[in-house]
Structure formats: structure tokens, C-alpha cells
């Protein structure tokens, strides 16, 4: 990947997911590279290291990341989060738990408006939503009905 190429969408999503998971805890560049490498097919660790370096430089330049020791980095908690649409929403200082109690978990689809990830309800909790569930949710939101049984 040359310096001029845009960062792929999958890598941007992987970075946001990684940042959400680590929170304010210190992390190493290696941990970010491992996460990026697991998020792509085919896997290419050198490319993942290159992307990790780019994300670290860009986040440090924006003031979102600081050195937290010799090899560790720490994210600065943002007061607002920018959604994919460009809208900003407040970020809370701690985690907020969202619970759904139901006898039919498969009827729910959750969409992360920041990363675009879709999660579907299942018997064991939230898991990656299937393409069929995503299509059904999209059709419902667009007013065309769900297309289910």
C-alpha cells in the first residue's frame, strides 16, 4: 500500500472496533497489528504493521493517542463520537449496557452507526448478523417490509 492510497474500509472498521475494545487501557503497536491482521483476508502481517503505524501516527497527530510508556500507547477518551453519517453523539465516561429480554432473539438486528457492523440476536447472545438478516432489516427500514415468513 503506497502512502497515497486511501485506508481500506475494513481497516477503518477494524481500527474503530480495536479502539472501542481497549478503551483507555495501554496497548502495544503489536496488539493493533494482530487485530488488523485477523480482520483481513488474505492475512498479511507486514501490511497490518504498516496500517497500524499509519493509524498510530494519525491518531497521535489528532491528539487522540498518547505515549504511555516506552512501547505502550493509550487512547484519550473522546467527549463525542462521529457516526458514519457525520453526526456526532456524546460519549459517556463508562460503558453503558444495553439489554434486550425476549423469547425470540433472532428477530433483532443491531447496527453500530459508527463502524457499520451489524449484529444479530441469537440463543447465545449477539453474534455477527447474517446477510439475510441485514437485507431484511434494510428492507424494513426502507419501508418495503421484511420479506420474512
pLDDT along the chain (149 residues), means of 10: 65 87 89 91 90 89 84 82 89 81 94 92 92 93 68
Q: Give CA–CA dist 111/119, Å, rounded.
A: 6
Class of domain 9-77: mainly alpha
> pLDDT at position 12, please?
85
> pLDDT at position 119, please?
94
> pLDDT at position 147, please?
55
Length of the chain: 149
Whether the model pTM is above 0.75: no
Q: Which residues pair with 28 in a beta bridge?
A: 72
> pLDDT at position 148, please?
52
Residue 139 DSSP symbol: H
> pLDDT at position 1, please?
45
> pLDDT at position 7, please?
78
Residues of the chain with CATH 1.10.10: 9-77
**Residue 81 zone, left/alpha/beta (φ > 0; ψ -120 to 50; rest):** beta
Residue 96 DSSP symbol: -
Q: What's the Cα-to-Cα distance from 56 to each of 3, 23, 51, 64, 75, rounded to whole Å? A: 14, 15, 9, 9, 10
Amino acid at each position: 500500500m503506497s502512502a497515497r492510497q486511501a485506508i481500506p474500509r475494513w481497516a477503518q472498521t477494524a481500527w474503530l472496533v480495536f479502539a472501542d475494545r481497549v478503551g483507555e487501557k495501554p496497548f502495544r503497536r503489536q496488539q493493533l497489528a494482530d487485530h488488523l491482521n485477523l480482520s483481513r483476508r488474505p492475512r498479511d502481517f507486514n501490511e497490518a504493521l504498516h496500517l497500524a503505524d499509519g493509524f498510530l501516527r494519525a491518531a497521535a497527530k489528532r491528539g487522540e493517542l498518547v505515549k504511555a510508556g516506552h512501547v505502550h500507547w493509550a487512547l484519550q477518551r473522546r467527549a463525542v463520537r462521529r457516526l458514519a453519517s457525520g453526526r456526532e453523539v456524546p460519549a459517556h465516561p463508562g460503558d453503558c449496557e444495553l439489554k434486550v429480554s425476549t423469547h425470540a432473539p433472532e428477530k433483532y438486528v443491531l447496527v453500530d452507526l459508527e463502524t457499520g457492523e451489524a449484529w444479530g440476536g441469537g440463543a447465545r447472545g449477539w453474534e455477527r448478523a447474517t446477510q439475510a438478516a441485514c437485507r431484511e432489516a434494510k428492507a424494513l427500514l426502507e419501508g418495503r417490509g421484511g420479506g420474512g415468513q
